[in-house]
Amino acid sequence: MKLIDDVIVVHGLTKRFGEFVAVNNLDMNIKSGSIHGFLGPNGSGKTTAIRMMCGLMDASEGDIHVLGLSMPEHASQVRDQVGYMTQKFALYEDLTIKENLRFIAKVRGIPAALAKERLNAVMIDNDLVEYQSQLAGSLSGGQKRRLAFSAAVLTEPRLLILDEPTSEVDPNTRREMWAKFFKLASVGTSILISTHLMDEAERCHYLTVLNDGIKVADGKTDQLKNEFSHQVVLVEGENVTPLTDSIMQMKQVLAVAQSGLVLRVIVSKEEADPVRIVSENIGPKFSVRKIKATIEDVFVAATQTTKCRLDKE
Ligand SMILES: Nc1ncnc2c1ncn2[C@@H]1O[C@H](COP(=O)(O)OP(=O)(O)OP(=O)(O)O)[C@@H](O)[C@H]1O
Ligand SMILES: [Mg+2]
């Protein structure tokens, strides 16, 4: 097996639908053995880019190499080595869990004895044994995601491309799925994962953020946080909620989010003293201090074009 540093290399990737540019001149590298998060608001082009990487859609422009092979020329060779979990459920609703997995094993050419072994292993691993005879169409949202993930890993691929694998999955199952992702990465599997969940983004080794099809942030997760150019302040005190609107109206403020009993405020990098200007706006009853940026701050600052109020808990 050829060893390569970057399992996906994308250069100048563009997809147009008529006049509309869904993916715009994207450069992206996915390092071998890493978990690489793909972030962006709804409609920012993540699924479209992924579909081109998997050879399921032609690019309008640009080059794609997956596992060292140029796409879409080597699409069938690449597909044999890639596990792709689609955003929408794409398995047979009128087959049972076991029948779906058996079908995939057959199509992917896994020998019968090995297929039986792997089928049992993935069903145990993904808590599907007790539902194995249930039609896929009648499964809950989370069970469907677990089946789709089982199908993606059945061939033990070198590269996993997971498009929002944990949407509809409960928090405990999500943690278990992430434990699996880390385990797979530790034995050399590379994972590209799209997600809207910021706690998941924090767990990735690398991140790429799209906005309107354009890459707006890219790099090591820690580095993106440490090198965040804007400033984040925390506002604490009794009943901070009514402060939100007046803070949002400040010209130096990019975004405000309430998190539990406190407000997180992103202040423009141009402002020399963010703590002072926020304090002056809200009065002495509240405390304001500067804090470190999270990936959510990086995401919000990179993707919002107008000021936004993030409604959290
Ligand atoms: N076949 C198509 N024809 C026309 N427009 C399309 C087509 N496929 C996608 N688009 C448009 O391209 C844009 C990007 O869509 P895409 O599904 O890639 O976004 P996404 O980042 O995956 O969003 P989400 O987070 O909601 O899954 C959207 O505006 C979508 O409507
Ligand atoms: Mg999508």
**Are 139 and 147 spatial neighbours (Cβ–Cβ below 8 Å)?**
yes
What are 133's two structure tokens?
A: 């005879």
- Ligand that lies nearest to the alpha carbon of residue 52, given by its number in the listed order: 1
Which pLDDT belongs to residue 190? 97
Query: Which residue from 44, 48, 161, 194 has its CB within 8 A of the most atoms of ligand 1, so it is best to mutate?
Result: 48
Measured from the CB, is residue 86 less than 6 Å from ligand 1? no
Residue nearest to atom 28 of ligand 1 (CA): 43
Query: Using CA atoms, how far apart are residues 189 and 286, in angstroms rounded to an integer?
Result: 48
Q: What is the mean predicted confidence (pLDDT) over 137-148? A: 95
Measured from the CB, is residue 42 less than 6 Å from ligand 1? yes
> Is the pLDDT confidence value at 309 over 90?
no
Pick the atom of ligand 1 nearest to 164's CA. Answer: 27
**Are 275 and 233 spatial neighbours (Cβ–Cβ below 8 Å)?**
yes
Put simply, whether the predicted model's pTM sits higher than 0.85 gets the answer yes
Measured from the CB, is residue 51 less than 6 Å from ligand 1? no
Measured from the CB, is residue 45 less than 6 Å from ligand 1? yes
Residue nearest to atom 12 of ligand 1 (CA): 22
Any idea where the domains of the chain sit in the sequence? Answer: 6-225, 228-310
Pick the atom of ligand 1 nearest to 48's CA. Answer: 18
Element (H, E) at 44: none
- Ligand that lies nearest to the alpha carbon of residue 19, given by its number in the listed order: 1
Least confident window among 13-22, 220-229, 255-264, 298-307? 298-307
Which pLDDT belongs to residue 312? 41
Cα torsion 226, 228, 229, 230: sign: negative
**Are 45 and 210 spatial neighbours (Cβ–Cβ below 8 Å)?**
yes
- Residue 43 CA to ligand 1 center (angstroms) comes to 5
Which pLDDT belongs to residue 313? 37
Query: Using CA atoms, how far apart are residues 271 and 87, in angstroms rounded to an integer?
Result: 40
Whether omega before 72 lies within 30 degrees of 0, making that bond cis, reads yes
CA 291 to each of CA 62, 174, 267: distance values in angstroms, whole numbers, following the listed order: 40, 28, 11
Q: Which CATH class is domain 6-225?
A: alpha beta
pLDDT band at 1 (very low <50, low <70, confident <90, very high): low
- Give the tens place of pLDDT for each residue, 155-206: 999 999 999 999 989 999 999 999 999 999 999 999 999 999 999 999 999 9
**Are 250 and 237 spatial neighbours (Cβ–Cβ below 8 Å)?**
no
What lies within 8 Å, CB to CB, of 267 at 6+ separation is 230, 231, 232, 233, 252, 253, 254, 274, 277, 278
Query: Which residue from 21, 44, 168 has its CB within 8 A of the most atoms of ligand 1, so it is best to mutate?
Result: 44
- Give the tens place of pLDDT for each residue, 15-38: 999 999 999 999 999 999 999 999
Place of tokens 């699924």: 47
Residue 118 CB coordination number (10 Å):
18
228-310 belongs to CATH 3.40.1120.10: no
Element (H, E) at 101: helix 97-107
Longest CA–CA span in the chain (Å) reads: 72
> Is the pLDDT confidence value at 66 over 80?
yes
